[in-house]
Structure 1
Amino acid sequence: MLAVALRHLLLLCLCVPATPPLLAESAAPPAEPLSERQRDQIDAAASYALATTLFASSDLPAALHAFERAWRWDPGEDQLLDRIVPLAVSLGRADEAIRYALIRAGDGSVSPEMLRRLALFASESEQWDEAKRLYELWLQSTPESSNAFERAMVRIELGRLYRRQGNAAEASACLAKIQKKLLAAPNSKASRQIITGLGGSLSQVYEMFGKCHLEAGELHLAAEAFSQARDELETDAAANYWLALLELERSQPLDAYAHLQQYFAAPGDPLGAAPYELLRKVLVKINDREHWPAELSRLREQHPDSLYGLQAEAETLAAAGKADDAAPLLRRLIDDALSEAAPIDEDSFAACGVWLLRHYAATGEANRVIPLVSQLGKVHPSLDPYANVIKAAISDNAFAAQVNARLRLVADQPQTNPAELLPAAYLALTAGEIDLATSIAERSLADDKNVEGDDLLSFAVGLLLADQGEAGAGLIRRALEQGAVDEESPAAWYYLSAGLRGVDDTEAVNAARRAAELAPASPEFAANVARVLQAAGQTQAAADEFAAVLRRFESDPDPSTRATLRETRLSYSYLLLQDDRVDDAVEQLQQVLDEFPSDPGASNDLSYLWSDRGLHLQRALRLAETAVAAEPDNPAYLDSRGWGLFKLGRFDEARDNLAAAVNATDEADPEILNHLAYSHLALGDRGAALRDWRRALSLIDDAQQGLLRAEIEQRLQDLARQAGVGEAPEKNPH
């Protein structure tokens, strides 16, 4: 089709009359109008011709865009993807290559080598869905009889991806094939290659296999794998834990108990708290729950430094209704963890902190909260793991009053321990006491030796996230002035600009520019200057800055840069449209879609622009469908699809989509109501049209939507006049 379109394009270019039309003897019969499909093919051919020219002149980034544009105009030309994928890879834009490679999913046109290369990149960049699909395509594209080692490694990686995504059955099935081969021929060349490829530890390989099988309920396979793991390394305590879990699943609690005894006979706590909890469950299963305290006491003697054993003892006391006895043990656990006397994982540490906070709220011990929070803040400075329990605690007004009184003492008393200040400020912020939180944080600035600049900046960001921009900006500014935060820190100026937006626009712009100057290689900081200018109403300056960012960073292949440029183009297109530069706005949206062909925001915006102007109506509808598929309940996307259907004369479907768009918001959007009214009118329902236009008028903000008000008022006048003289209402407004 591309070759045909190219010939069509050339013929159109060559068909220039040799004689001026006015001097021709007779007029040629009018040509049959081209269909939208034919016009798209011609545009695709033109883009392809441009791409080949750019490629020949070594302008590879521009050539890539042109190849992508050609494919987007004519998606039936799959051969274009053969040019796009390797070219994107050669430019270091693997994310882009992945997007286009997956478009060709399963047709065999992307080489196995390229699929595996892209799958590896996707895994490394944590694009789990894309990595899984690419590995699946690789397996489909290579015969079962091909390189056994490569197929085995891909299956193992697929098993890991399936398990990560919670698909235990697929993970088990994938790994079972490798397990079978390893057990059948453990000394074969392929088996030795697999072991080497996985770091040389067959025990760890079998352990991973066993976990997947156990989660999938494949107990026989799990037993096989865990037994091999233990045989490979007799002292592997973890394998005994997993075997115990397996035996419990098999309803063999005595065997599970025996495996756990072997686990605890080994030194250390390799699996943390889980084995203690499993032992308790095993004893319950064998009707010996009364023996659990004695068993735990024996384990505590066997592992006196184990914080997990200490945690289990505290939990046992709490479960027995002895919370007052449990609390000192958990306080000791937190002390020991912070002094590094013994290790404990962050989740277990947080669980202990949550329990203590809940206990102090229940017992009204507000005096213990701030010292505890000071300790917890050393591991979790922002107190995020404790936010819910803190909010629940202060829902009790009496307890909240006690905590606030103690926080005010922290803010006011000069002898307050400096180490308590910032954690206390976070506590006040979590409790919603913004002024108090800010006051305490400012206390920490009294002596800059008492606070790390990064910690203070993080707290200020917390204020920004709590919609306290002015307070956050004030704290950052004072920290910069007093030297607590380095004046050469671009992040400080970046966040300062965010806090000053809408408070002091001039200073916000200055701060944004300062951040960009300090980090000249950062596209995010450069784009932030444009965003701050836009928020300040300086639209022309913002547009100039957006354009400068695009010119400056266009050749940067880094994925984060490409994402920033995507957002930049979307913002720039909006400003261009505001300036009535419609063609330029469309081009920016086209460039987003060249690189991100399924981007819902750009698809929606371009769809609406085209539909509203009666251009490329079939393509516009397909773009709207792409956006709605990504976000089915997005009212703006439903509106674009409805308006596209209206422009195509599919009025029933348009009405249904536009009604869904109206119902998708808590408060109806007057623009969507305007479109819905047109669809009612086109279907002959004058009453419904009048109702929705009048409702739209009641919702219009004159400062922002004066033109929309004028349009609707004119329509209502037209309807009144037409009704008076018996004229039929106009169906299509444009």
Structure 2
Amino acid sequence: NDRDQDRLTAAALFAHGRLLFRQQKLADALTRYERAWRYDPAGTPILMDIVPLALRLKRNDEAVRYAIIAAENDHSDIERLRRIASLLRQQRQFPRALKLYEIIDKIQRAQPVDFSYLALQLELGKLYFLTDQAEASAKVLGLVKTALHNPEKYGLNDQQKKQLEGKNGATYLVIAESMLMDGKGADAEAMFREAHRVTPDETLLAFRIARTLENRQQPEKALEQLDIFLAAKTGSQGTAPFHLLERLIKQQFKQETEASQRYLEKLLELQQADPKNQSLTYQLAQVQFARKNYADAVKLYDALLAGKPTADAYRGVISVFVTRLAQIVADQPAAEQFKWSADQKDQWQTLTKHLTSFVGDSGSLDPLGEDLTDQVLNDKRFLSQLLGQLRAQLSLEVSDEPADENPAVAKPAEIEPLAITAGLIAVRGQQWDAADAFFAKALEAAENKPARVLEIWGMQMLMAEQFERSAEVLQQAVEHPNINNKRSFFFLLAGASAMADQTDNALAAARQAIDLSPKIPRIHSRVGWVYYHARRYPEAEQHYRALITKFGSEYNSSDTRDVLRQARLTLSNLCVLQDRLADAEEWLEEVLDEFPEDIGAMNDLGYLWIDQNKHLHRGLQMIQTAVTAEPKNIAYRDSLGWAHYRLGNYQQAVKELEKAAGDPEPDSVILDHLGDAYFKTKSLEKARKTWQRALDALEEDAKESTR
């Protein structure tokens, strides 16, 4: 059967690897070992040959990948398990690290509770906390708490106790937070007091105790402690104390209106006594904004921006002006022409000034955040007025006022960042001609330093899928006499030209980029990608093969290895398109040799096997691993459904394929698979309708391809 065949293949590969090792063909031996393990994962001892050999070949990243797998499968070496678990924790792979620490805990549970065991419990508690498992965290940290209170009982010397306490009593804080999350306010307070004993801070202790009292539903006592903290006029805890204050007041005053007013009054009182507290000022500004006290909110935001400007302060003040002006626009009848008062013109100018200060230097609207960006772009009437104001300030449209009498006209030094900001907004608002005009204005203002403007302009159009516009802009960049470093522009131009179906221009640009940076694999990969996009598959394959030959022996760069991984995945797809399935499988096997947990390669190889009725059980297992890692990935879900179909699990196939076909515009292949599964479960009408949908989708794909 399949499993016997896999074990036999693994044995042959391992034996061949041994032979190659004796012949000092170490790289080939490593590949055989890696593949032997993959065909028979139960043969864990093979991993003990892989890790040292990979290290000997200085393929360190590869060695670490297999060392982690070895640790998860072979629990005989506790110290190795600890090292790998610690490594995973450093890499912030918390769930995986936790799994190993749980294995160590299970092995050592019968041993005496000593310093080593307590240190393990501390790590477990931290990881439970980091993975939002408050109850489990509190439980294991409870033992650490007991040991720290009674060190003699557990044989802890002073040095060991201090080590368990952590720097500045950090362990007590972890235990306290864990207890607090688990609803154990009294225990949390005791731990906060222990942390205070190690690192005294009366003010901070008061805030922490207030939090525990809130947890115990004692708002009056909590407010007494919080008042001690607030009287110290410190901003060390950010806005957390003021959010706590709001919750406590709401516990005191059951009527929302009364609680809201009392909270505002308290914040005003605190801010008057401590006007330099940025966190307090920001929180008060947010409250005033929420209560539609816009003028008061703006004054507070302005005070923050006059000191040390923060992203939150910029987003706040921009939100105020967008909200106010959008309301004015909404109140104006659509048929009437806008007549802005002097005050409203000032508001527009202030808004554009803040927008420019915040996003003009970044070259992106991302700093605004998703919600604020949507607020700006989704109101089309407001967006139109905003772009009109920007055009007026940049003198891009006729104004009723002479330029020297129009205070809105930007000064020369302000034009470039203002025009870039306007261009960014226009692109996101899909106002392509306006965007080009704004960026052209920025380019004019940049004079002899055009690189930044052209890069932002070209990238924005590329990301907006305006490929021809992007290519035109990037062509300007590569031809501009005042730009010296043109490598990135040629690289981007190759991509934009390819997407605009200008293949010859794309290839020329990609080769120019290679000439400027002949030693960078990612630059080299662009030529193959252009051929692939143009469906010139033989040339694409030739170039990707040459890329692997040229850089395949370089293991000192993770980026190089990633480029080669992508090249092999693309080569596999190229072979599928040419019906060379054995070659396609081999390229995926090579990816998995080096990256044994690459879920994309697992899914693709599993699907190829399943579709050919090969290695059905192992293919299903690989696809299931991919789905577990990315449950929302439609392609992986389709593969899983098709695997169940091939194995005769038709009801399960329907279940998985229905999930895959849940997309608003499902792929024709997915629909075809679902129709087959319906047919096998005798849901004939569903099968007929689904096959018809598959045909319709296939026809639409053909039309789109022609376009």
Q: TM-score, normalised by structure 2?
A: 0.80
SS of the residue corresponding to residue 337 of structure 1 reads coil
Q: Following the alignment from structure 1 to structure 2, what is the Cα–Cα distance between the partners of residues 164 and 450? A: 51
State whether residues 366 and 399 of structure 1, in contact with CA within 8 Å, keep that contact through their aligned partners in structure 2. Answer: no
Map residues 256-335 of structure 1 onto 2, 5 A cutoff.
256-266=222-232, 268-287=234-253, 292=263, 295-335=266-306
> Aligned in 2, Cα 1:38/1:192: closer, same or farther, shift over 3 Å?
same
Cα separation, partners in 2 of 1:579 and 1:299, compared to 1, 3 Å: same
- 2 CA distance for matches of 1:524 and 1:216? 49
Deviation at 1:587, TM superposition (A): 0.9
Q: Structure 1 residue 548 and structure 2 residue 546: aligned?
A: yes
- Whether the 8 Å CA contact 1:639–1:657 is kept in 2: the answer is no
> Does the aligned pair in 2 maintain the 1:149–1:190 contact within 8 Å?
no
Offset at residue 273 of structure 1 (A): 1.8
- 2:358 alignment counterpart: 376
Cα deviation, residue 219, structure 1: 1.3
Task: Return 5+ residue gaps in structure 1 as ranges.
Answer: 1-34, 339-343, 706-734
| Contact kept in structure 1, 2:114 and 2:156, CA below 8 Å | no
Partner of 2:430: 432
Give yes or no for contact 2:289–2:320 (8 Å, CA) kept in 1.
no
Note the C-alpha offset of 1:487: 1.6
Matched, 1:225 2:205: no
For residue 571 of structure 1, report the CA deviation from its aligned partner.
0.6
Residue number in structure 1 paired with 2:167: 200
Which residue is equivalent to 2:510?
512
The 2-side partners of 1:679 and 1:295 are apart by 65
Distance 2:555 2:581 in 1: 27
Match of 2:36 among 59, 70, 73: 70
Q: Does the CA contact (< 8 Å) of 1:318 and 1:326 recur in 2?
A: yes
Residue 43 (1) aligns with residue 9 (2): yes
Do residues 79 (structure 1) and 77 (structure 2) align? no
CA change 1:422–1:335 in 2 (3 A) is: farther
Q: Quote the Cα distance in structure 2 between the aligned partners of 1:292 and 1:647.
A: 64
The equivalences for 1:634-713 within 5 A come to 636-637=635-636, 640-641=639-640, 650=648, 652=650, 656=654, 660=658, 663-667=661-665, 669-671=667-669, 699-701=697-699
Letter in 2 for 1:200: K
Partner of residue 569, structure 2: 570
Cα distance in 2 between the residues matched to 1:668 and 1:71: 37
- Please say if 1:122 is aligned against 2:88: yes
Verify: 1:400 aligned to 2:391, yes or no: no
Report the CA distance shift for 1:450/1:206 in structure 2 as closer, same or farther (over 3 A): farther
Aligned to 2:495: 498
Structure 1 partner of 2:439: 441
Answer whether contact 2:50 2:66 (CA < 8 A) is retained: no
Structure 1, 413-422 or 694-703: larger mean CA deviation: 694-703
Paired residue type of 2:375: A
8 Å CA contact 2:249, 2:263 repeated in 1? yes
Q: Distance in 2 between matches of 1:278 and 1:684?
A: 60
- What's the C-alpha RMSD, in Å, of the aligned pairs? 4.1
Determine if contact 1:496/1:511 at 8 Å carries over to the other structure: yes
Q: Secondary structure at the match of 1:436?
A: helix
Q: Answer whether contact 1:569 1:589 (CA < 8 A) is retained.
A: yes
TM-score by length of 1: 0.77
Would the alpha carbon gap of residues 626 and 481 (structure 1) be closer, same or farther in structure 2, given more than 3 Å must change? same
Q: Kindly indicate whether residue 586 of structure 2 is the aligned counterpart of residue 603 of structure 1.
A: no
How far apart, in 2, do the equivalents of 1:293 and 1:667 lie? Answer: 50
Q: Percent identity?
A: 26
Q: CA offsets per residue over residues 567-600 of structure 1, 9 Å max, x none?
A: 2211111113334443322111112233444544
Alignment correspondent of 1:465: 463
1:112, 1:142 within 8 Å by CA — same for their partners in 2? no
Q: Residues of 2 paired with 1:134 and 1:401: CA distance? A: 57
Aligned-residue offset at 1:61: 4.2
Distance 1:198 1:472 in 2: 58
The AA in structure 2 aligned to 1:358 is T
Match of 2:371 among 369, 388, 391: 388
Aligned residue number for residue 108 of structure 1: 75
CA apart distance, 1:50: 2.0
Per mean C-alpha deviation after superposition, the further-off stretch among 117-126 and 473-482 is 473-482
Q: Check 1:492–1:676 CA distance in 2 against 1; reply closer, same or farther (3 A cut).
A: same
Asked if the contact 1:354–1:386 (Cα under 8 Å) also holds between the matched residues in 2, the reply is no
- Contact kept in structure 2, 1:530 and 1:546, CA below 8 Å: yes
Contact 1:469 1:500 in 2 (8 A): yes
- How far apart are residue 359 of structure 1 and its match? 3.7
2:102 maps to 136
Once residues 177 and 383 of structure 2 are traced to their aligned partners in structure 1, the CA distance between those partners, rounded to angstroms, is 45
Deviates more, 1:618-627 or 1:308-317: 618-627
CA offset digits 1:39-82 (Å, max 9, x no partner): 32221111101222333445444333322211222233232233
Contact kept, 8 Å, 2:168 with 2:199, in 1: the verdict is no
2:658–2:674 contact (8 Å) kept in structure 1: no
User: Which stretches in structure 2 are left out of the alignment for 5+ residues?
Assistant: 330-346, 397-409
Rg: which structure is higher? Answer: 1
The answer to which of 79-88 and 63-72 deviates more is: 79-88
